[in-house]
Amino acid sequence: MERKITEVPGVGKKTEKELSDLGIRTLHDMLTFRPRAYDDRRQERRIRDASIADPSISCRITVLRHSEFSSKGGRTLKVSAEDDDGTHIELLCFNRYFLKQQLRLGSSWYIYGKAMRNRGIYQISSFEIKKTKEEAGIGRILPVYPLSGNLSEKLMRNAAEYSLHALSPIPDELPQTMYERQNLIHHSDAYKNIHFPSSMEYAKAALNTLAFTELFIMELSVLRERKQGARKKSSPTALEKKLVSGLPFTLTEDQLKAADEIRADMDSPIAMNRLLQGDVGSGKTLVAWLTALHAIAEGKQVAFMAPTELLARQHADGAAALLSPLGIRIAFITGSVKGEGRRLLLKSLKDGTTDLVVGTHALFSEDVSFKNLGYVIIDEQHRFGVQQREALSRKGSNADILSMTATPIPRSLALTLFADYSVSVLHSMPKGRIPVKTYLVNEGRRDEMYKSVGVEFQRGHQAYFVYPRIDDDGESDLRDVTTMFEFLKDKYPGVSSALIHSKLPDDEKMGILRAFKDKKIQYLVATSVIEVGIDIPDATCIVIEHAERFGLAALHQLRGRVGRSTLPSYCFLVYGSDLTEEAKARLRVMKETNDGFRIAEKDLEIRGPGEMTGDRQSGFLHLKFANLTSDLDLVERARAEAERILIEDRGLLKAENAVLRTALLTKNAKEL
C-alpha cells in the first residue's frame, strides 16, 4: 500500500490538490520529486560579505531599534540590527508589521536573504528570520523545488524531509555489483542527497545515480519485451519482381537493402517492428509498396496509414497507378467515406477481397476489421501517437509493422524511445538528383526572386509559394495566402495557379493537387498543408515567406517538396527584418546543408528533444532525472548494463536481480 502525501503534517485538502498538480500523491512521489536548484547556505555570510554579485547573507543578528516610515502601503516597520561583526543593517518589513512583536529589542535571530547597500547603509526587505541556526537552514544546502499554486518551499522541504524519514530505510534499487561497476551511490544516500545534499558533489552523484537507474530500468523493460528471432534470407516473389521491372528507374542500393531486411523480418515467425528512416525524397514509399507485395503474395492484407487525408489520397492514387496493373485490389478509407460506400468497403476488408487499404487514422475506427491483416505501414510515423499506432496493429494478429519517417532520430533517442525498433536507413538519394539550391532572400531582393521563378515557369516547371496564414485578420503584418494569391496573379499574368489551405474541403484539395500533378496548374499558393509528403516531380521552386517563423524540421520538409526529379531546383527563404539569433541560426543551417540528419542534429541542439519525440515522450517516457540531450553517455551505459543483465539472467531469476523484477512490475503497473 502506498503511503499518501496527506500523511505529512500540514498537508490538507487544498495542499493535496496543489501537490497533485505537480504529480505528487504519495510519499514516494515526493521522494522522487527533483529539486530544480539548490540554495547553498553552508557558508555563514555576514552582512559585510553581501555584494552586487552575491547579495546573500546568512548569519546571526541582534535587534537594536524599531522605527517606522511611511510607504505606499501605509506605515512600514523598520528594524535596525547588527551582526556579530557589529555591521548594521535595516530590515524593511513591508506588510509584516507583526514582526514588531517577535523581533524584540535585544533579541537574537538567524537571518537569511538578499541584502542591498543603499547610500552606505545595508538594507534587506526579502528575508527569512528564524530562532535557530537549524531552522534557518544555515550550514545546509537546501532544495529549491518547482512550485504550483500557493505551495511554499518551506512546505515542500518539510514534505521531503518527512518522506525521507517515513520511508527509511530506503532499499537499494539495483543489484549490488552494479553500484560498484557503474560508480553509483546507494539509493538511500541518493534520495537523501538529491533533496538535502551534504555537498554539491554529493548532489551530482545522487542525480547521476537516479538518472542512471531510471534509464537502466527503461532499457531493461524495453529490451526484455523485444522479441528475438532467427533471420533467414528471403527472396522477392514474382509480384515484387514484376513491379521492379516495370519501373522507369532502378532502385537504389539502400532501397534494395531495406526491402531485404523487411522481407527477412516478415518471413521470420516474430512480428516485425521496424523503422524506415530516410530523408525527404529518398523513396520510402516505393519500399513500402514493394514489401506490401511480399505480404500480399502470402495471402495477407496490408494497411497503409498516412497522417492527413490529402497524403492518404495521394498514396492511394500512387498505389492504384503502380499496383492495380499487377492485380492488387486497393481500397481507400478516411473519416469522410460514409454510408453505402463505407459499408461495402468494410465488407471487402472483412471478407478479404481488398488486398491493400490506404487511409488515415480512420483505419483503426472500431467498425473496421480485417480478414487477415498481416502488414501495417505507417507513413510519417512521428505524426501519430503511440496509441494510434498500437490500435491499428491490434487489428491484425501478430502483424508486421513498418514505421516510416523522414525525421531522423538522434542516437540518444534511438537508444531509448526507439530501443524496441529495428532500423533500416535510406542514406542515398535516387540517381540523378541535384541538391536543392537554397537562397536567403530579404525584402531588397524580392523582385529578383520573382524573376527567377518566372524563368522556371517559362521552362514549363512548377512552383509552390508558402505563407504562414490563410487570410489577413488585420492584426499582423504577416503575408497571407489569400492576399498573395491575388498579388501573384498580377505578377505572373497568364500563368495558371490555385490556392490551397487547410480550410478547403479535402475533395477540393485533392482536385487541386491532381490538377497540379497533371500540370494544369503551374503554381500553388499554399499554407504549410503541403508540408508533408506531397510528391510532384516537376515542381522545381519553393518560395517560403516569413521563413523565420518555421522550425527547422518544417523548413526541411517544405524544401523537400522540390528536388524530387533530375531537374535543378531552388528554395527561396524570405525573411523579415528583425530576426532573433535563433531564427538566424536556423536559416543559416538551411542554407548550409540539405542533409536531413545534420538538420535534425542542429534542431536538437537549438530546440532540445521535446518535439522530436512527439507523444512517445508523454505516452511512454516519464523521465524525472535523466536528460536525453545531455546524458548520452549515461544512456549508453544503461543500455549496456541492461543487455548484460538480460544475457546473464533473462528471466531475472537470480537473487541479486530480484530488485529488478520488482522494479519492472511497479513500472508496468504505473503505466497501465
Least distance (Å) from ligand ADP to the CB of residue 587?
22
Residues 173-212 that bind Mg ion (CB under 5 A): none
Q: Near Mg ion by CB under 5 A, which window of 151-159, 288-296, 532-540, 625-633?
A: 532-540
Q: Which is nearer to ligand ADP, 480 or 535 (CB)?
A: 535
Q: Near Mg ion by CB under 5 A, which window of 360-368, 510-518, 526-534, 654-662?
A: 526-534
Least distance (Å) from Mg ion to the CB of residue 288?
9
Least distance (Å) from Mg ion to the CB of residue 388?
18
From ligand ADP, Mg ion, none, which one binds at residue 396 (CB under 5 to 8 Å depending on kind)? none
Q: How many residues bind Mg ion (CB under 5 A)?
A: 1
Q: Which is nearer to ligand ADP, 160 or 406 (CB)?
A: 406
Q: Give the nearest residue (CB) to Mg ion.
A: 533
Coil, helix or strand at residue 69: strand
Least distance (Å) from ligand ADP to the CB of residue 434?
13
Question: Among residues 480, 462, 560, 574, which one has the least CA distance to residue 527?
Answer: 480
| Residues 6 or more apart in contact with residue 662 via CB below 8 angstroms | none
> What value, to the nearest 5°, has the Cα angle with vertex 490 and ends 486 and 492?
110
* Residue 478: alpha-carbon gap to chain centroid: 28
- Beta-strand pair 88-93/37-40: unpaired
Q: 281, 359, 410, 533: which one contacts Mg ion (CB under 5 A)?
A: 533
Across 99-130, b (16+ Cβ under 10 Å) vs e yields eeeebeeeeebbbbbebeeeeeebebeebebe
Q: Near Mg ion by CB under 5 A, which window of 116-124, 221-229, 271-279, 533-541?
A: 533-541
Contact (CB, 8 A) for 535 and 314: yes
From ligand ADP, Mg ion, none, which one binds at residue 314 (CB under 5 to 8 Å depending on kind)? none
| Residues 6 or more apart in contact with residue 147 via CB below 8 angstroms | 22, 153, 156
Q: How far is CA 612 from CA 384, 410, 479, 626, 630, in A?
A: 12, 9, 28, 17, 15
Torsion of CA 594, 632, 646, 260, to 10 degrees: 10
| Binding string, residues 76-115; x marks residues near Mg ion by CB under 5 A | ----------------------------------------
| Residue given cell 553581501 in the structure block | 50
Q: Which is nearer to ligand ADP, 187 or 564 (CB)?
A: 564
Q: Which is nearer to ligand ADP, 76 or 285 (CB)?
A: 285
Least distance (Å) from ligand ADP to the CB of residue 283?
3
**End-to-end Cα spacing for the chain:** 17
> What value, to the nearest 5°, has the Cα angle with vertex 515 and ends 334 and 519?
140
> What value, to the nearest 5°, has the Cα angle with vertex 509 and ends 508 and 513?
115
Alpha helices in 380-427, H assignment, sequence order: 386-393, 411-416
Q: Which is nearer to ligand ADP, 453 or 539 (CB)?
A: 539
Q: Which is nearer to ligand ADP, 61 or 311 (CB)?
A: 311
Least distance (Å) from Mg ion to the CB of residue 560?
9
Joined together, the cell numbers standing for residue 19 give 501537490
From Mg ion, ligand ADP, none, which one binds at residue 537 (CB under 5 to 8 Å depending on kind)? ligand ADP
Q: Which is nearer to ligand ADP, 281 or 396 (CB)?
A: 281
In angstroms, rounded to a whole number, what is the distance separating the alpha carbons of residues 502 and 273? 32
One-letter-per-residue 3-state SS of 436-477: CEEEEECHHHHHHHHHHHHHHHHCCCEEEEECCECCCCCCCC
Q: Which is nearer to ligand ADP, 438 or 557 (CB)?
A: 557
Q: Which residues bind ligand ADP (CB under 6 A)?
A: 249, 251-252, 255, 278, 280-286, 406, 430-431, 533, 535, 537, 564
From Mg ion, ligand ADP, none, which one binds at residue 252 (CB under 5 to 8 Å depending on kind)? ligand ADP
Least distance (Å) from Mg ion to the CB of residue 437?
22
Question: Among residues 581, 580, 561, which one has the least CA distance to residue 570?
Answer: 561
Least distance (Å) from ligand ADP to the CB of residue 404?
7
From ligand ADP, Mg ion, none, which one binds at residue 281 (CB under 5 to 8 Å depending on kind)? ligand ADP
Q: Which is nearer to ligand ADP, 249 or 487 (CB)?
A: 249
From Mg ion, ligand ADP, none, which one binds at residue 81 (CB under 5 to 8 Å depending on kind)? none
From Mg ion, ligand ADP, none, which one binds at residue 87 (CB under 5 to 8 Å depending on kind)? none
> What value, to the nearest 5°, has the Cα angle with vertex 534 and ends 413 and 321?
115
Interface positions with Mg ion (CB under 5 A): 533
